[in-house]
Amino acid sequence: MKTVFRFMSAALLAGGALLAQPALAQTGPKTLIVYDGPPNSEYTKLGLAYSIMLKNLLGHFDSNAELLPVQNYVAGKMNGYDATFYLGSYYDNPLPAAFLSDASTTAKTVVWFKYNLWQLAWNPAYGFPAKFGFDYASLRGLNAAPTAANPTPGFFDTIGYKGKSFVKYYAFDGATGVVNADPDIGTTAVLDPVKAKVLVPVTNPKTGEIAPYVTRSGNFWYVADLPLSYIGPRDRYLVLADLLHDMLGVTTPEKHQALVRLEDVGAMVSVSAMKSLTDYLYGKHIPFSIATIPHYMDPLGIYNGNVPQSIPMSQATNLKKALNYALPRGAEVVMHGYTHQYSNVRDPWTGVSGDDYEFWNIVTNSPVTEDSTAWAQDRITKGKTELTSNGYTPVAWETPHYQSSGLASKVFALPANFSTTYQRVVYFTADKPNFNPVPNKDFGVGQIFPYVIKKDYYGQRIIPENLGNIEYDISAIDPTSNYNYTWQDIVTNADYAKVVRDGYASFFFHPFWLEPAVGTPGLADFKKLIDGITALGYTWIAPSQAQ
């Protein structure tokens, strides 16, 4: 495989040189995303969901992609864009002849994902195999239908890229027979190696077969999969995130930066824990941030003997002590909600700050009753006022539990509120989504970013958090905290993140893991994690330095 990767690197470099357009790096390439939107289907809007995700990634390149259902494509349109991405998410969705014809003749970059390439490659009218030097071969998926006796029949699930194996997600529920996975790929066959190059392979470990995962012929790219499903910190999604540089012809030097954020820091924070973490980071000259909850609320008195409790920033003496100690030692404040809980209800856990969602009703999986631009703006204003009136200026916004309504996300992004957010995001195919399984149902999709997104679907600038956080099984204390996510897991995630040429290693950590009553080796593991990421060659920066 060593030879293969050397060969692939050369091909990538050559491709980048051919497509390099200096002007694009400054203004951003003009991009078009064409997606399947079959009318009156349960999956009518699934293609839009994928398109939103790709648009967000293209936002890294300062590109404001236009989204278009393929049935609305008009002849010649893609010639007006530097690159067109077709997301084939719906099997055998009939593609307009104008789109097929343009895809086969345009001089601009075309990137085709997953399904329906047969409509172009197998129609002799377009002369695809002769022109591009490769042909569509077959549609492959599960090697067999899974059964109780054979729950993992296997599929082409392992993508090899830059010396790493990216294994696609797979989960089979033997009780229901449902497979949660995205096993289908379109296999291709290179007919003319001068014209077509396989840049990334995918293997089927059960059968031993190897097939092309990414194939390129001049300005035409074919990605056998749609790597925006079941994504995670070690997923083949990172391969796409990296290859977008080459697809767009953007030259980016190898550069890896790291971020650490202390999480859910509110009125109940332990000053001792915060001082220990601050002293450690300061001693290593590592800048960091503190996700600060301005106003503590326990409206049901869950932790206060059934007596409701409300602690504004002005009275949160421990919180202010912790911040005042950390800020001169390299910390920056990130505003983490206003109260990090919603109303006087459990959403879903306790109604207490730090526990619950604030801008999303996770119980009903819908926007909260009051959801509106004005309601969200009011909370932002109140939170910022509490911070600034106590002398703190947030450098970024972080949505509690990374989920809010579309309307609220647009409010966070308003220039008067926050120029930067620092988070993962859930995106919706409508501001008031309807998830009922009917034709035209909406989708909500969570997305992780490996690098800075200059402008996402909601207008947010996003600094990434892509590695996760240390977790301990403390189910004896809290039944919901019932699994471990170790510092080694996160270092491994950071190692994978390096395949993206400008990939970040960004994680967060809860200071309460240092509190003696919890009984976990929080500080020791935190130190090991910092050391592990440092050893991978990342440079630590503060959120305000992220570019």
Partner 1 sequence: MKSHTIRVLFSGVPLVFALAGGAMAGQASKVKAPPLPPGSNLVQVDAGVTPEEVSRQKRAHKHSKLEKKDYTRDDSLDAPPAPKNPKPKKTK
Residues from 170 through 209 that contact partner 1 (CB under 8 A): 171, 177-184, 187-191, 193, 198, 201, 209
Residue 143 lies near partner 1 (rule: CB under 8 A): yes
- The single residue among 44, 56, 84, 119 that binds partner 1, judged by CB under 8 A, is 119
Q: Which is nearer to partner 1, 101 or 106 (CB)?
A: 101
96: DSSP letter: P
d(CA 258, CA 172): 35
Min dist. Cβ of residue 80 to partner 1 (A): 27
In the region spanning residues 369 to 408, those forming contacts with partner 1, defined by CB under 8 A, are: 401-403
In the region spanning residues 55 to 84, those forming contacts with partner 1, defined by CB under 8 A, are: none
133: DSSP letter: S
Residue 239 lies near partner 1 (rule: CB under 8 A): no
**Buried (b) or exposed (e) across 439-466, using 16+ Cβ within 10 A?**
ebbbbbbebbbbbbbbbbbbebbbbbbb
- How would you class 80 by CB atoms within 10 Å of its CB: exposed for 0-12, middle for 13-18, buried for 19 or more? exposed
In the region spanning residues 249 to 288, those forming contacts with partner 1, defined by CB under 8 A, are: 264, 267-268, 270-272, 275
- The single residue among 50, 112, 397, 457 that binds partner 1, judged by CB under 8 A, is 50
Kindly list the distances between the CA atom of residue 411 and the CA atoms of 49, 404, 422, in Å, as whole numbers in the listed order.
21, 10, 15
Q: Which is nearer to partner 1, 185 or 463 (CB)?
A: 185
Site string for partner 1, 122-141 (x = CB under 8 A): xxxx---x-----xxxxxxx
d(CA 228, CA 54): 8
d(CA 112, CA 224): 8
Min dist. Cβ of residue 496 to partner 1 (A): 14
Min dist. Cβ of residue 210 to partner 1 (A): 6
- The single residue among 251, 350, 440, 486 that binds partner 1, judged by CB under 8 A, is 350
Min dist. Cβ of residue 515 to partner 1 (A): 6
Which amino acid makes up residue 473? D
Residue 444's region, left for phi above 0, alpha for psi from -120 to 50, else beta, is: beta
- The single residue among 288, 338, 418, 512 that binds partner 1, judged by CB under 8 A, is 512
d(CA 257, CA 229): 26
Min dist. Cβ of residue 36 to partner 1 (A): 12
- The single residue among 230, 280, 282, 435 that binds partner 1, judged by CB under 8 A, is 230
d(CA 154, CA 3): 27
CA torsion sign for 525, 233, 465, 296 is negative
User: Cis ω on the peptide bond leading into residue 124 (within 30° of 0)?
Assistant: no
Residue 520 lies near partner 1 (rule: CB under 8 A): no
Q: Which is nearer to partner 1, 316 or 463 (CB)?
A: 316
In the region spanning residues 323 to 342, those forming contacts with partner 1, defined by CB under 8 A, are: none
d(CA 415, CA 424): 20
- The single residue among 248, 316, 335, 368 that binds partner 1, judged by CB under 8 A, is 316
> Which of the ranges 249-257, 346-354, 408-416, 534-542 carries the binding residues for partner 1, by CB under 8 A?
346-354
Q: Which is nearer to partner 1, 15 or 153 (CB)?
A: 153
What tokens does 293 get? 């909850």
d(CA 428, CA 412): 16
Kindly list the distances between the CA atom of residue 122 and the CA atoms of 130, 225, 408, 512, in Å, as whole numbers in the listed order.
11, 19, 46, 60
Q: Which is nearer to partner 1, 11 or 542 (CB)?
A: 11
d(CA 424, CA 445): 11
Site string for partner 1, 440-479 (x = CB under 8 A): ---xxxxxx-------------------xx-x--x--xx-
Residue 295 lies near partner 1 (rule: CB under 8 A): no
Residue 481 lies near partner 1 (rule: CB under 8 A): yes
Q: Which is nearer to partner 1, 146 or 394 (CB)?
A: 146
d(CA 536, CA 547): 20
Residue 167 lies near partner 1 (rule: CB under 8 A): no
Q: Which is nearer to partner 1, 275 or 454 (CB)?
A: 275
Residue 352 lies near partner 1 (rule: CB under 8 A): yes
Count CB neighbours of 59 within 10 A: 23
- The single residue among 152, 349, 452, 521 that binds partner 1, judged by CB under 8 A, is 349
Q: Which among 483, 451, 445, 491 has a CA at the least distance from the CA of 467? A: 491
